[in-house]
Amino acid sequence: MKKQDMNRDWIATARTLSQALPYLQRYSGAIIVIKLGGHAMGSDEGMESFARDVVLMRQVGINPVIVHGGGPMINALLDKLEIKSEFVNGKRVTDDKTMEVVEMVLSGTVNKRIVQAINRQGGRAVGLSGKDANLITCTQTNPDLGLVGTPSDVKPDVIRTLFENGLIPVIAPLGAGENGETFNINGDTAAGAIAAALKADRLLLLTDVSGVKNGAGEVLTELSATQIRDMTADGTIAGGMIPKTETALDALEGGVRAVVILDGRAPNACLLELFTEHGAGSIIRLG
C-alpha cells in the first residue's frame, strides 16, 4: 500500500473516532444486552470480530451482557448420540435425556467458546447460566414441550456484581424451576427477560436477517410497538420474525428503552448500531 493511501486510511479512522464521540458519551455506563446467535456463532472469524466489539464496548464504559443460543450445536450432538429430537409447532420437545445434552452444550461448549473468544481479545468474561445464583426462575411453558421454561423471575444482582468488577457476563439460556428442575429457555426470550430485569438501555437481537421488513421487502429502520402489532396482525411480520418482535415488545413493556433487530452477519454490527448516526437494523420503541 502506498504511503499516501495509508495516510488517507488513518485520516478516515481518526474522523470516524471523532464522529463517534457523542455516541461514546451517550452510552457510557449504559447496559446493553446482546442476544448472540446465527452466523457469528458458527464462524471463527465472526466470533473473533464479535468478541473484539464487545471488549471495545466494555473499554469505553458500556456494560455489555451476552445471552447466547446454540440450536445447531445441540442438534449436532443429539444426532451424534442418536437421540431423537421432536418438535411441536417448531419448538423442541425437551425430555430428560435431551435436557442433559442441551445443558452440556449451552453451559459447556458454546458458553466457554464465547468466554474464551472475549478473553482472547483482552476482555474479562465470565460464563454462567440462568441457574447460577437463582438468576432465572422458570415455569413450564407447555407440558407438551417437556422441560421448556418461561422466565417467571429474574434476579439481576449477580450481573450487577459482575459489572462492578469490570467483568462481562456470558449467559446460557437455562433456568431453574421451583422444584429444582432445569428448564431450557428460548434464547431470545431469556435475553428479553434479562434486559427487562436490568432496565437495559438497549436489547440487541442479532439475527441472520437485516431487520424488520415491510410488505415490499424493505428494511424499516424505526418502528413503534403499535406498528409492530399492526404488521403482525396483517401478516407482514410472519414466521421466525414473530417471536423476535414479541420478545421486543415484552422487553419494552418491562422497561427496556429500545430494542434493535439487526444482522449479526454484518461486520461490526453492534458498533454500527451504537456509535454511528445511521445505526443498523430496525430499532423498536414503545412510542
SS3 state of residue 152: strand
Alpha-carbon dihedral of residues 274, 275, 276, 279, nearest 10 degrees? -10
Known catalytic residues? 35, 38, 71, 188, 244
- The kind and range of the H/E element at 227 are helix 225-233
What percent of the chain stands above pLDDT 70?
91
Instruction: Quickly count: other Cβ atoms within 10 Å of residue 12's Cβ.
Output: 10
Question: What number is the average pLDDT over the span 149-174?
Answer: 96
Mean pLDDT of the chain: 90
Looking at residue 194, its pLDDT comes to 98
Beta bridge partners of 168: 125
Identify whether the C-beta of residue 62 lies closer than 8 Å to the C-beta of residue 32. Answer: yes
* Closest CA relative to residue 158, chosen from 136, 133, 175, 177: 133
Looking at residue 209, its pLDDT comes to 86
**Alpha-carbon torsion 73, 74, 75, 81, what sign?**
positive
Q: Where are the beta strands (DSSP E) in 187-241?
A: 202-207, 222-224
- 89-116 pLDDT, tens digit each: 667 889 999 999 999 999 999 999 999 9
Question: What number is the average pLDDT over the span 174-180?
Answer: 93
Residue 40 reports pLDDT greater than 80: no
Question: What number is the average pLDDT over the span 197-212?
Answer: 94
Looking at residue 4, its pLDDT comes to 58
Domains with residue ranges and CATH for the chain: 29-285 (3.40.1160.10)
Residue 48 reports pLDDT greater than 70: yes
Looking at residue 183, its pLDDT comes to 97
CA–CA separation, 215 and 198 (whole Å): 34
Question: What number is the average pLDDT over the span 264-287?
Answer: 86
* Closest CA relative to residue 212, chosen from 141, 283, 131: 283
The residues, any chain, with a CB within 8 Å of residue 67's CB and separated by 6 or more, are: 33, 34, 35, 36, 171, 173, 187, 190, 191, 194
